[in-house]
Structure 1
Amino acid sequence: MGTVPLQCVCGIFLLFGGLLISFTPSCNGGNILVFPVDGSHWINMKILLEKLHARGHNLTVIRAANSWYIDEKSPLYTSINFHVDVGVKDFFDVFTKENIRVQREGASSFRDFLLIKDFFSRISTIQAFWVDAVARIFDDEKMVKNLLDAKYDLVLTDPASASGVVLAKYLKLPMVLNVRWIPAGEGHYVIAPTPLSYIPSTGSRLTDKMDFIQRIKNLFFHSVVEYQMRLLAGPTYNDLCGRYIEGGCSLMSLLQEADIWLYRSDFVFDFPRPTMPNVVYIGGFQCKPAQPLPADLEKFVQSAGEHGVIIMTLGTLVNALPEDLAEEFASVFAKMPQKVIWRHKGKRPSTLGNNTLIVDWMPQKDLLGHPQTKVFVAHGGTNGVQEAIYHGVPVLGIPLFFDQFDNLLRLKDRGAAKILELADANSRSFEQALNEVLHQDSYRQNIQRLSRLHRDQPMAPMDKAVFWVEYVIRHKGAPHLRTEAYKMPWYSYYLLDVLLFMMTVVTVLLYSMFALFRFLCCRQRRKTKSKLH
């Protein structure tokens, strides 16, 4: 047996060394300041932080001392605490109960008005509390000095509360947004052109296919977003900027100055629309292949046999339905041949069947990825909808508030979900809707088509998110990807000054021609009269 030539051995080692280098992180560990939003938004942010921590980045999280979801101590990050006068959990508990009560009184325009009015009032209140909390940070000289001395590379924040955006401006740091929502509406509204003829406004319950009356409705809902942004949220943050930012600023301009928008959506889920170079779509970045279920849960799932399993949860904000409605839903589940796993923390329904397992918590991702799962009964939150797409499970949606109806509408428009509104929910309507999603093959076929489209991309959404965070660290920002439109006054952006100038020029020309023509005519008449005399 011959010996291996020395050149081959060296070549193998060089190749192996090159492969090792190619798999090492291309960015040295950065120093990242994180200003998250509590509640379900933190779930998304934490998943991104786990990946950034694994890549060697140093993370510091600014959190409220009475935070609902964000732990003070974590192996992922160091925390900085500040005081805020209202707890997010208390705020949403009150809002959720009131919202469900009003919806169950029946569908009406007056009901929608009450919900919008109450929502605006409560959101304005909590935004004001957050603004006050950030002002306290700015007034704390020791904390400000510590933040400046830490030499952060960037601020990673969720602009649903724009306090982190103001903080980034104050510290003069590059900014990356983990975003879908801003203080008023969804993020595209402030950064990209938004033709209302085919882009539905937040809360409009419209698709991208609108007739004349629907376009009128869309314009109305857009005006509501404008009102919220410019007259409710905007002035609160603008005042904060006026007090602490040299030269002042506005909420709109601050958001538009962000270097990168990590946008928690994609065009498999959302309707196609104009976008910008610094918007990176990471829809479904939190989705992962299913892991094995706990042994007892796996045994329950397998006992369903050929009929499969229905899973139901209404998200982190809703622990339980009203008792009478829970009784009706339980009675429907009891009739089904499927096994049911239901996240429900309220009073145990008396109509509950032996086929239904009540749990305080469920491994939602792993259940959605289980081949036995047939239908997902859900409220329509962004995370759950995107996980349903990823795993290809059809949805029966029961929207409660915020963006949930609009999220479910996007699945319904693609034939992958059915919507049952709370005002119409009872045992009969719930059973009918559930059987339709279970037994009409089109629902499963359509959601599985969306799943194939979502997975068929050159780079995983999480990898895109990490790449662009590290890109901003490497290049100390990404100003070359930002539009300069945010520096323009509104009349220049819409070319109103140009139109006014052109109209003035045309008017002057027409008036000059008219004056000249009139002068020549008068002169000719005078000559004619002089000849006659």
Structure 2
Amino acid sequence: MSKEKNFRNSGSHVLLMHRVSQILQDHGHNVTLLSNRGRSLASVYVSFFLLQLDFFEDWFYTHTHVKYESENFVNLMEILGTRCSYLLRRCDIMDSLKNENFNLIVVDAFDFCSFLIAEKLEKLFVSILPTSVSRLDIGLPSPLSYVPVFQSFLTDHMDFWGRVKNFLMSFVFSVEQWQIHSTFDNTIKEHFQEGSRPVLSHLLKKAELWFVNSEFAFEFARPLLPNTVNVGGLMVKPIKPVPQELENFIAKFGDSGFVLVALGSIVSRYQSPEIIKEMNAAFARLPQGVIWKCKPSHWPKDVKLAANVKIMDWLPQNDLLAHPRIRLFVTQGGMNSVMEAIHHGVPMVGIPVFADQHENVLRVETKKFGVSIQLEQMKAETLALKMKQVMEDKRYKSAAEAASIIRRSQPLTPAQRLVGWIDHILQTGGAAHLKPHAFQQPWYEQYLLDVLLFLLVVTLGTAWLCGKLLGLVARWLCGARKLKKA
């Protein structure tokens, strides 16, 4: 199996960070990649921390409830915090990192351990957010009237009750963020001296730049700060011809074209025999060919593969999405896959399972790029109807192509934005000029609570004074009348 195939069979975080590493190397930077698989050193200008990502996937695989649940996610972060303590105790790794002449550290925002290591090394760092910007509180202005809170499953078009829900969900989100951050408290206490212990919420705002793996052809428009840069589409590479084996298979179906099915590295491992059976039966009802990323070793022995279906352990997803005869992409809704589909203007059927996938598929539906179906509701007839709906209703294809035009027509590519901003940070020695003073203000100043309190005191004081003066005037007038009558 080629190196590309090896990485394609890794998880989305690994793929994204490896791609970022490649882009920077292609533009002349020397890169060290630190991961739980190992580390290679060179004359380094930029360092990457790619921690715990394989463990993250294994954890989801061993848990039965794979949907995003706050309690499960907090438990995962507690485990990552413990593993982070172990890494920080590794004097051999930490000392060698300190001895390297890093100019900049690039961290994956999923694992907070990366931020703590950057703080230990006292180096500038930028962060890669693999998912939507709403996933973390990084200090962005978020008007609740049109910016949906993560896991609220709202759009930017909210009615009155939607705004009520969004307002209440903002408190739930804040509590969940606090719970998640607190899972690293013991690690921080163990490895940082009292008086200089970082606060995770402050560390997030300390990042010089935030690179977000999304863009506004997909996201709901919202305010960003100058140090927040959308780079969705980094995974899109120059198109290569698909292997002849696949080209021969596609040719069998002529103008009917083909459907690509790829449910991601983690979700593919959850495909039970029942789910595989239902999906196979659904694909058998289509006139199109179906190329399905599904390990042959996972295929149930009692299920006969549909005549129009080809299963593969690995497939060139980007190249297949660019193929002129593709008609539909069946995806789990991971951000990398959605960005690739948007780039190539391919409509989708989303089968979300966990984490941000439900939010991503909600946006796919809202933007009319496709429809969704829940994994637990997977039935052959339902899935077949959903797929036919998207392929036969040209509005989905038109919306996907319009999004592709928006994405492609931007003046700079995602890779150019990434490299250009990193070069800018290296040349200017940081991004203080891109961060608002609000990051240094206490919360009561940011929300003008001190100003409101002052105005309230002045208003109440003035009202009290006016009342007293009116009372004095009234008593004086009453006294004057009594003297007149006397």
Report whether the alignment pairs 1:130 with 2:98. Answer: no
Report whether the alignment pairs 1:420 with 2:369. Answer: no
Q: Which whole-Å CA distance do the structure 1 matches of 2:50 and 2:110 have between them?
A: 18
Deviations 1:18-41 (A, max 9, x none): xxxxxxxxxxxxxxxxxxxx9321
Alignment partner, residue 290 of structure 1 = 239
Alignment partner, residue 59 of structure 2 = 91
- How many angstroms does 1:531 deviate by? 5.7
Report whether the alignment pairs 1:479 with 2:435. Answer: no
- How many angstroms does 1:55 deviate by? 2.5
Q: Which whole-Å CA distance do the structure 2 matches of 1:501 and 1:527 have between them?
A: 38
Q: Which whole-Å CA distance do the structure 2 matches of 1:140 and 1:442 have between them?
A: 56
Report whether the alignment pairs 1:155 with 2:105. Answer: yes
Q: Find the partner of 1:309 among 253, 258, 263.
A: 258
CA 1:221–1:528: 2 relative to 1, 3 Å: closer
CA 1:409–1:53: 2 relative to 1, 3 Å: same
- How many angstroms does 1:180 deviate by? 4.0
Structure 2 SS opposite 1:473: helix
Q: Find the partner of 1:342 among 292, 298, 310.
A: 292
For the 8 Å contact 1:389–1:450, the answer to whether it is kept is yes
- How many angstroms does 1:120 deviate by? 2.3
Summarize the alignment of residues 436-515 of structure 1 with structure 2, pairs less than 5 Å apart.
Answer: 436-515=389-468
Q: Which amino acid aligns with 2:457?
A: T
Q: Which whole-Å CA distance do the structure 2 matches of 1:39 and 1:142 have between them?
A: 28
Aligned positions, number? 470
Structure 2 SS opposite 1:477: coil
Alignment partner, residue 197 of structure 1 = 145
Q: Which amino acid aligns with 1:88?
A: F
Alignment partner, residue 61 of structure 1 = 33
- How many angstroms does 1:214 deviate by? 1.8
Alignment partner, residue 26 of structure 1 = none
- How many angstroms does 1:332 deviate by? 2.2
Q: Which whole-Å CA distance do the structure 1 matches of 2:52 and 2:168 have between them?
A: 34
- How many angstroms does 1:134 deviate by? 3.2
- How many angstroms does 1:131 deviate by? 2.5
Q: Which whole-Å CA distance do the structure 1 matches of 2:304 and 2:163 have between them?
A: 45
Structure 2 SS opposite 1:507: helix
Q: Find the partner of 2:162 among 214, 239, 246.
A: 214
For the 8 Å contact 1:153–1:476, the answer to whether it is kept is no
Structure showing greater radius of gyration is 1
Structure 2 SS opposite 1:340: strand
Q: Find the partner of 1:228 among 162, 176, 185.
A: 176
CA 1:492–1:128: 2 relative to 1, 3 Å: same
Q: Which whole-Å CA distance do the structure 1 matches of 2:42 and 2:199 have between them?
A: 36
- How many angstroms does 1:85 deviate by? 13
Q: Which whole-Å CA distance do the structure 1 matches of 2:43 and 2:321 have between them?
A: 27
Q: Which whole-Å CA distance do the structure 2 matches of 1:473 and 1:248 have between them?
A: 26
Q: Which amino acid aligns with 1:510?
A: A
For the 8 Å contact 1:62–1:82, the answer to whether it is kept is yes
Summarize the alignment of residues 16-55 of structure 1 with structure 2, pairs less than 5 Å apart.
Answer: 39-55=11-27
CA 1:327–1:141: 2 relative to 1, 3 Å: closer
Report whether the alignment pairs 1:328 with 2:300. Answer: no
Q: Which amino acid aligns with 1:455?
A: R
Structure 1 SS opposite 2:106: strand
TM-score normalised to structure 2 length: 0.89
Report whether the alignment pairs 1:281 with 2:230. Answer: yes
- How many angstroms does 1:414 deviate by? 2.2
Greater shift after overlay, 343-352 or 258-267? Answer: 343-352
Q: Which amino acid aligns with 1:127?
A: M
- How many angstroms does 1:198 deviate by? 1.0
Q: Which whole-Å CA distance do the structure 1 matches of 2:427 and 2:441 have between them?
A: 29
For the 8 Å contact 1:416–1:444, the answer to whether it is kept is yes
- How many angstroms does 1:264 deviate by? 0.9
Q: Which whole-Å CA distance do the structure 1 matches of 2:393 and 2:53 have between them?
A: 50
Q: Which whole-Å CA distance do the structure 1 matches of 2:139 and 2:264 have between them?
A: 29
Alignment partner, residue 345 of structure 2 = 392
Q: Which amino acid aligns with 2:322?
A: G
Deviations 1:298-329 (A, max 9, x none): 21122221111111111110225222232122
Q: Which amino acid aligns with 1:194?
A: S
Q: Percent identity?
A: 29
Alpha-carbon RMSD across the aligned residues, in angstroms, is 2.8
Q: Which whole-Å CA distance do the structure 2 matches of 1:155 and 1:81 have between them?
A: 8
Q: Which whole-Å CA distance do the structure 2 matches of 1:341 and 1:383 have between them?
A: 19
Q: Which whole-Å CA distance do the structure 2 matches of 1:359 and 1:220 have between them?
A: 45
Q: Which whole-Å CA distance do the structure 1 matches of 2:62 and 2:92 have between them?
A: 36
Structure 1 SS opposite 2:120: helix
Deviations 1:9-59 (A, max 9, x none): xxxxxxxxxxxxxxxxxxxxxxxxxxxxx9321211100101212233222
Q: Which whole-Å CA distance do the structure 2 matches of 1:98 and 1:484 have between them?
A: 42
**Which stretches in structure 2 are left out of the alignment for 5+ residues?**
1-9
Q: Which whole-Å CA distance do the structure 1 matches of 2:312 and 2:407 have between them?
A: 30
Alignment partner, residue 6 of structure 1 = none
Structure 2 SS opposite 1:213: helix
Deviations 1:384-438 (A, max 9, x none): 1111111111111111121112212222222221112224321111111111112
- How many angstroms does 1:482 deviate by? 1.0
- How many angstroms does 1:138 deviate by? 4.0
Structure 1 SS opposite 2:184: helix
Q: Which whole-Å CA distance do the structure 1 matches of 2:339 and 2:367 have between them?
A: 14
Structure 1 SS opposite 2:425: helix
TM-score normalised to structure 1 length: 0.82
